């Protein structure tokens, strides 16, 4: 695996962003895209605990992808304030993701501004992500195929990206958008084709926003316990249709077969991913 650093830029115009990053499908970190958001100043751990700590939130563990009844289901539910205390205290595997906080706290919408750097933002789904120190998000690309603008708050988060043309080396499980390769500690004996993968790497600081192009694979490591918000943008009808197909095959085929076959289905997916990758060596 070879990684190159992602550029960090300030003062990009929409025209520069379109020509240098959006059209070529190249990631970039904006140092100032969220600089004027009230959220950048207001959204501290203490603020969120004080005003929204009573919310009951779903939390996911490292068994998220284990076959059986718990496949892709929450591990536990917990008051939001208690969870924030937990991730401030130190390492934990528990994460909260795809959480549309504006549905539960609509007054927060005024703290985030839809960027003017490009068009096509999906205003209905501003998802938030929370995790403790050393929690990781498995290598995947977003199921709806949107481009993502992920803004980090308060602490640090490492993001590793791979372009779609690297998919053959990533051991993608059939009927999913997932890979189970551990990017932090790759097992090259088990995943030898992953040696050929080439990607990008960065660590987001407070207030920085990373542009993740459509269908780019990403692996995330919470360097510190913290949180971020993702704004999504759809650029073409093709990406929307592809996203619809991903959603259909995941919720109908993958979840359905998991319900019927359990661990046998997971083993079959792993074997197929291995077969495809081994053909490249």
The dihedral sign for the CA sequence 108, 29, 6, 214: positive
Q: How confident is the model at residue 250 (pLDDT cuts 50, 70, 90)?
A: low
pTM of the model: 0.90
Q: How confident is the model at residue 275 (pLDDT cuts 50, 70, 90)?
A: confident
| pLDDT tens digits for range 79-107 | 999 999 999 999 998 998 767 778 888 88
Nearest to 83, CA basis, from 38, 129, 125: 129
Rounded to an integer, the average pLDDT of 65-88 is 81
Q: How confident is the model at residue 238 (pLDDT cuts 50, 70, 90)?
A: low
Q: How confident is the model at residue 120 (pLDDT cuts 50, 70, 90)?
A: confident
Nearest to 237, CA basis, from 114, 150, 124, 120: 120
Min mean pLDDT across 83-87, 146-150, 261-265 is at 261-265
**Contact by Cβ (8 Å): 43, 107:** no
| pLDDT tens digits for range 124-137 | 768 899 999 999 99
Count CB-CB contacts under 10 A for residue 140. 18
Domain annotation for the chain: domains and CATH numbers = 2-278 (2.60.120.650)
Query: What value does the mean pLDDT of the chain take?
Result: 89
If you count them, how many residues does the chain have?
281
Residue with the bigger pLDDT between 121 and 64: it is: 121
| pLDDT tens digits for range 171-191 | 998 888 899 999 999 999 999
DSSP 8-state code for residue 80: H
How far lies 270's CA from each of 84, 99, 188, 259, in Å? 35, 29, 15, 17
3-state helix, strand, coil in the chain (%, to 5): 35, 25, 40
Alpha-carbon span 205 to 212, nearest angstrom: 16
How far lies 147's CA from each of 121, 135, 256, 263, 276, in Å? 9, 23, 28, 33, 27
């Amino acid at each position: 695996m070879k990684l190159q650093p992602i550029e960090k830029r300030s003062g990009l115009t929409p025209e520069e962003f379109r020509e240098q990053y959006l059209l070529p499908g190249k990631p970039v970190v904006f140092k100032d895209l969220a600089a004027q958001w009230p959220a950048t100043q207001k959204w501290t751990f203490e603020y969120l605990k004080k005003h929204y700590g009573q919310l009951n939130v779903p939390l996911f563990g490292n068994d998220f992808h284990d076959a059986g009844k718990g496949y892709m289901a929450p591990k536990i539910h917990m008051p939001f304030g208690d969870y924030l205390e937990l991730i401030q205290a130190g390492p934990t595997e528990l994460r909260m993701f795809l959480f549309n906080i504006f549905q539960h706290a609509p007054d927060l919408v005024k703290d985030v501004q839809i960027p003017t750097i490009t068009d096509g933002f999906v205003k209905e789904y501003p998802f938030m992500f929370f995790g403790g120190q050393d929690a990781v998000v498995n290598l995947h690309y977003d199921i709806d195929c949107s481009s993502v603008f992920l803004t980090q708050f308060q602490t640090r988060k490492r993001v590793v990206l791979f372009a779609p043309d690297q998919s053959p080396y990533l051991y993608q499980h059939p009927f999913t958008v997932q890979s189970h390769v551990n990017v932090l500690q790759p097992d090259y004996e088990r995943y030898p084709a992953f040696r050929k993968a080439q990607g990008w790497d960065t660590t987001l600081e407070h207030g920085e926003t990373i542009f993740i192009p459509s269908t780019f694979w990403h692996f995330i490591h919470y360097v510190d316990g913290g949180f971020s918000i993702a704004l999504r943008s759809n650029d073409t009808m093709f990406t929307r249709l592809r996203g619809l197909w991903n959603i259909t095959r995941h919720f109908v085929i993958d979840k359905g077969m998991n319900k019927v076959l359990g661990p046998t289905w997971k083993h079959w997916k792993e074997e197929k991913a291995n077969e495809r990758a081994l053909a490249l060596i």
